[in-house]
Amino acid sequence: MNQSPSSEPNSPNPFLNLNYEPSFESLGNDYYDEVTAAEFPLHILRWRNDALLPLFGLNPRDVSDTDFINAFGKFVGRKPLLAMRYHGYQFGVYNPQLGDGRGFLYGQVRGKDGELYDFGTKGSGRTPYSRGGDGMLTLKGGVREVLAAEMLHRMGVRTSRCLSMVETGLELWRGDEPSPTRSSVMVRMNRSHIRFGTFERLHFLQRPDLIKKLLDHVIDVYYPHLLDVEDSGESKYIQFYRELVQRVAQLVGQWMAAGFCHGVLNTDNMSITGESFDYGPYAFIPNYNPQFTAAYFDEYGRYCYGNQPAICKLNLELLQKPLSAVISTSEMEASLAKFEAVYFQEYRQQLSQKLGFTSTIDSSIPREEINELCQTTIRFLKTYPVSYHDFFADIARGFSEKWQNDANSILADSEIGQSLGASELFVQWSGLYHRLLTRLDRNTIQQIPVHLKKINPQIVITRPVIESIWEPIVIDDNWQPFYDLIQKIQY
Ligand code: AMP
Ligand code: MG
């Protein structure tokens, strides 16, 4: 990457000097296999996420492109590399033949925020779990995951990020890309790569002892604030499940407001820390359509946009089977019953934020009125084929204090306002929006545009946008549009 800095040629690699903690490794080899990375004919650094380096005490100026390549393309000097073992329900069918098939856990590092982070690779070679696969990631797959993570992060979703992407010079054959297609290794930074499926595998193997050990580990490392409550007799285990339900419900609320369809919500793609990760055939919806399905192989729309809350709830229910080795099922059922309430609360709050109402403003307006505005917003977006993202981007770009004085001025300068301004639903929506704005004082109104611009990016990576930056890469090896897009996303 030509715009990046470089350090002394022979200085020690800062990535190898990080203090790696053998956290998952300490569980023992019931949970993983040691693996070696593939050797590649070529290493070109295509993406380095300098924004993440300070979290690990690194100054981007002290980390060269060569350091990235040696660590995350050539895998010099880092051992052990672990392929994590897991199973999972794929499209509702239990698959006991999963596990890291093309990536591994590179290492775990504590951030300056005190939290432990995984560096996980994707596309770094075959493992005992590759089955018939080549262990590789396409370059386009790497580009897509980098973009998804940055976009979701920008939109306030709790997500993994990508640390680097190295092009590796192989020709890959894929049914869903013109082939041969180029290869890459991507490194993902995530709170944890322990999945629902990691527990499901241990249930399948009938090892309640290993389930308990893993659960203790997860709580110690990722839910350390949970303690047994002696008086009520409530164990940290049931508190863990309750919090996981809450985190997952909130995550889905964030996805839905962001207009994001993950695409493959199998239980091996659900993280035990309740964050979003593993971006394969995802898509941002073009317009509001609950049936919108991202993965071409999802024939019946199981994981369509509108099914995401129900599917995540089902995945949490399936997780009760392994966890019942430690936690009472009736207590877990009672916790899961709260899923919808938490989800709707988060979704409503996120939508309200997309309309400019920060949580402070939101809490000063009557709940019913915000609910009515959110419902009418969605009814409008569902009825007319307007771009979901343009609608919010237009509000962010066009917001004016005048909107408080005159409902007719709301979005009047935008294409959406001009073409649909006279429709009954738009009039109803702008009337409600106007009414809420009149409740705010001048000072509060002035804060709204800043907030709107932060949460509603002017560009969202719908499929045509991704294709528009991919084409120059294919045709001219021109990466500038990709870097320009990331810059716009990163704000
Ligand atoms: P995913 O759909 O990406 O979550 O992957 C599901 C499973 O298939 C995981 O066990 C992956 O490691 C494995 N897998 C996907 N693609 C490949 C590949 N090209 N080579 C080997 N394993 C793969
Ligand atoms: Mg996966």
Position 485 in a domain? no
At 336 the pLDDT is 98
Q: Are residues 70 and 149 in the same domain?
A: yes
Q: Which ligand is nearest to the CA of 280?
A: 1
Position in ligand 1 atom list of the atom nearest CA 135: 20
Residues 35 and 184 in one domain: yes
Tell me: do 319 and 392 sit in the same domain: no
State mean pLDDT over 187-198.
98
Phi then psi dihedrals of residue 228, to 5 deg: -60, 135
Single-letter residue type at 451: H
Q: What is the mean pLDDT of residues 220-237?
A: 88
Are residues 74 and 159 part of one domain?
yes
362 contacts 411 by C-beta, under 8 angstroms: no
Does 302 share its domain with 285? yes
CA distances in angstroms from 305 to 99, 160, 291, 302, 461, listed in the order given: 26, 20, 6, 9, 16
Residue with the bigger pLDDT between 167 and 8: it is: 167
Tens of pLDDT along 298-322? Answer: 999 999 999 999 999 999 999 999 9
Q: Domain ends where: 171, 193, 215?
A: 193
Q: Which residue, by CA, sits nearest to atom 7 of ligand 1?
A: 98
Tell me which of 140, 171, 193 is where a domain ends.
Answer: 193
For the question of residue 477 being annotated catalytic, the response is no
Domain enclosing residue 103, as ranges = 25-193
Residue 187 sits in the same domain as residue 201: no
Question: Looking at the structure, do residues 40 and 175 belong to the same domain, yes or no?
Answer: yes
Q: Give a yes or no: residue 18 inside a domain.
A: no
Atom of ligand 1 nearest to the CA of 280: 3
Q: Which ligand is nearest to the CA of 136?
A: 1
Residue 127 CA to ligand 1 centre (angstroms):
11
Does the residue 478 lie in any domain?
A: no
Please name which ligand lies nearest the alpha carbon of 99.
1
The sign one gets for the Cα dihedral 104, 105, 111, 114 is positive
The CA 397 to ligand 2 mean position distance, Å, reads 37
Given a cut of 50, whether residue 471 has pLDDT beyond it is: yes
Q: What is the mean pLDDT of the chain?
A: 95
The answer, yes or no, to whether residue 7 has pLDDT greater than 50, is no
Q: Into how many domains does the chain fold?
A: 3
pLDDT of residue 363: 78
* 130, 179, 181, best to mutate for ligand 1 pocket (most atoms within 8 Å of CB): 130
Label residue 3 by pLDDT band (50, 70, 90).
very low
At residue 10 the predicted structure's pLDDT band, cuts being 50, 70 and 90, is low
CA-CA distance, 160 to 350, in Å (whole number)? Answer: 19
The tens digit of pLDDT for each residue in 79-106 reads 999 999 999 999 999 999 999 999 999 9
Mean pLDDT of 121-142: 97
Query: For the chain, how many residues are written?
Result: 491
Q: Indicate the burial class of 106 (C-beta count within 10 angstroms; 0-12, 13-18, 19 or more).
A: buried
CA of 247 to the centre of ligand 2 (A): 19
Which residue among 67, 118, 268, 278 is the active-site one? 268
Looking at ligand 1, which atom is closest to the CA of residue 269? 4
Q: Classify residue 463: in a domain, yes or no.
A: no
Angle between helices 388-398 and 442-455 (to 10 degrees): 140
Residue 93: both structure tokens together: 């069918």
The tokens of 470 are what? 């991919």
Which of 42-46, 223-227, 289-293 bottoms out in mean pLDDT, i.e. has the lowest? 223-227
Report the alpha-carbon distance of residue 135 to residue 321 in Å, rounded.
31
Q: Which of 97, 102, 174 to mutate to test the pocket of ligand 1 (most atoms within 8 A of CB)?
A: 102
Q: What is the pLDDT of residue 9?
A: 54
- Which atom of ligand 1 is found nearest the CA of 100? 12
Residue with tokens 């408080």: 404
> For atom 13 of ligand 1, which residue has the closest CA?
101
How many angstroms is it from 11 CA to the middle of ligand 2? 36
pLDDT value at residue 364? 81
Q: Is 125 within the bounds of a domain?
A: yes
Query: Residue 111, exposed/middle/buried by CB under 10 A (0-12, 13-18, 19+)?
Result: middle
Task: Check whether residue 337 and residue 204 sit in a common domain.
Answer: yes
**Position 1 confidence tier, pLDDT thresholds 50, 70, 90:** low
Taking CA atoms, 332 is separated from 244, 336, 477, in Å, by: 11, 6, 52
Last-in-domain residue among 193, 218, 253? 193
- Give the mean model confidence (pLDDT) for residues 460-478: 98
Rg, the chain, Cα only:
23
How many A from CA of 193 to the centre of ligand 1? 14
Task: Work out the percent of the chain whose per-residue pLDDT is above 90.
Answer: 93
Q: Do both 34 and 181 map to the same domain?
A: yes
Q: Which ligand is nearest to the CA of 101?
A: 1
Distance CA(18)–CA(163), nearest Å, equals 15
Cβ-based neighbours of 401, under 8 Å, separated by 6 or more: 442, 445, 446
Write the pLDDT tens digit of every residue in 346-373: 999 999 999 999 888 877 888 899 999 9
Domain assignment present for residue 145? The answer is: yes
Q: How confident is the model over 253-267, as a mean pLDDT?
A: 98
- Calculate how far, in angstroms, residue 295's C-alpha sits from the geometric centre of ligand 1: 15
Pocket of ligand 1 (CB under 6 A): 98-102, 129-130, 133-136, 264, 268-269, 278, 280
> Does residue 378 fall inside a structural domain?
yes
Domain membership of residue 117 (yes or no) is yes
Residues 361, 300 within the same domain: no
Q: Are residues 221 and 256 in the same domain?
A: yes
Question: Residues 173, 34: one domain?
Answer: yes
pLDDT above 60: residue 6: no
pLDDT for residue 491: 73
